[in-house]
A and B are shown apart, each in its own frame.
Chain A
């Protein structure tokens, strides 16, 4: 069995790459994609913990998998809304670059 630490280091690497994408890129679509990358890293971590750690008396410890299901659901809702907002933004301002969107800046 692959040790738990290997999965955790892997998910930390994916999370850091996603965070770089969120911080360093201009396109709003790519920022949403990087957020999905970070959420996937978190899911790997949760499911690795669910299958490696002691379930405290239960035979199988599924709490991590349940939380991962909720994360996937919320991520799907989030992408749907984010895409609607980005399309709206493109229609009104003809750009999706986040450093050109300064409507709420004072």
Chain B
């Protein structure tokens, strides 16, 4: 039986792989940028399939909304459209090395003995992940299998924001500093000397 999730996975992976091949093979750079937006949307679909809804929204906002537009700006401003997407002189190693790496990565993924979530706990983990993006009522958590009040409390505090402002607060601040540095650096690089 083919579940709806499997069907969505296969459709999305065909779209993502074909569009990704298009990005590197299509001659017209502008079309490559549009195909890259298609890849980003497909990746957002994968995030929804993996019950990471917040990241799916972030993916659409940042990648599709900002980064794709930035690429199209870059292509237009450098007038590279008429030259197109030329290959360089490294064709044979450039095919061989990614192919070998792909074989190695697939072997590693299949051969490794992963430790999945135990079958009995999958529903509760899914509920805890829902709790991380919306606030569930006490009753909803209780009927979902969180019997003791301590377990409910733990499920409440396992959200994305709790981790981001809690355990990962130092990298969070560092990344904000990085964004500021990138903003100033981009301005300093792109502005012309006279103005």
In the complex, A8→B112 CA distance in Å? 11
Closest chain-B Cβ to A9's Cβ sits at a distance in Å of 5
In the complex, A69→B14 CA distance in Å? 25
> Cβ of B148 < 8 Å from any Cβ of A?
no
The reply to whether A66 and B164 contact each other, CB–CB distance below 8 Å, is yes
CB < 8 Å A-B pair total: 251
The reply to whether A69 and B71 contact each other, CB–CB distance below 8 Å, is no
Given contacts A10-B13, A17-B21, contact A44 B43 (CB under 8 A): yes
Q: Which of A7, A33, A78, A98 contacts B46 (CB 8 A)?
A: A7
In the complex, chain B residues 9-40 whose Cβ is within 8 Å of any chain A Cβ: 9, 13, 16-17, 20-21, 23-24, 29, 32-33, 36, 39-40
Q: How many A residues are at the interface, by size bracket?
A: 35 or more
Contacts of B59 in A (CB 8 A): 43, 72
Contacts of A88 in B (CB 8 A): 189-190
The reply to whether B85 and A30 contact each other, CB–CB distance below 8 Å, is yes
Q: Which residue of B lies closest to A43 (CB)?
A: B43
In the complex, A100→B93 CA distance in Å? 20
Q: What is the 8 Å Cβ interface bit string for chain B, positions 77-97, against chain A (1 contact, 0 not)?
A: 111100101111111011101
Give me the 10 closest cross-chain CB pairs, A-B, nearest first.
A24-B94, A77-B182, A21-B24, A59-B128, A8-B109, A23-B94, A12-B105, A84-B189, A16-B102, A16-B98
Given contacts A15-B102, A36-B63, A51-B50, 8 further A-B contacts (CB under 8 A): A10-B46, A20-B94, A27-B85, A47-B47, A62-B163, A69-B164, A79-B71, A81-B189
Which residues of B does A touch, CB under 8 Å? 5-6, 9, 13, 16-17, 20-21, 23-24, 29, 32-33, 36, 39-40, 43, 46-47, 49-52, 54-55, 58-59, 62-63, 66-67, 70-71, 73-75, 77-80, 83, 85-91, 93-95, 97-99, 101-102, 105-106, 109-110, 114-118, 122, 124-125, 128-129, 131-132, 151, 154-155, 158-160, 163-164, 168, 171, 175, 178-179, 181-183, 185-187, 189-190, 192
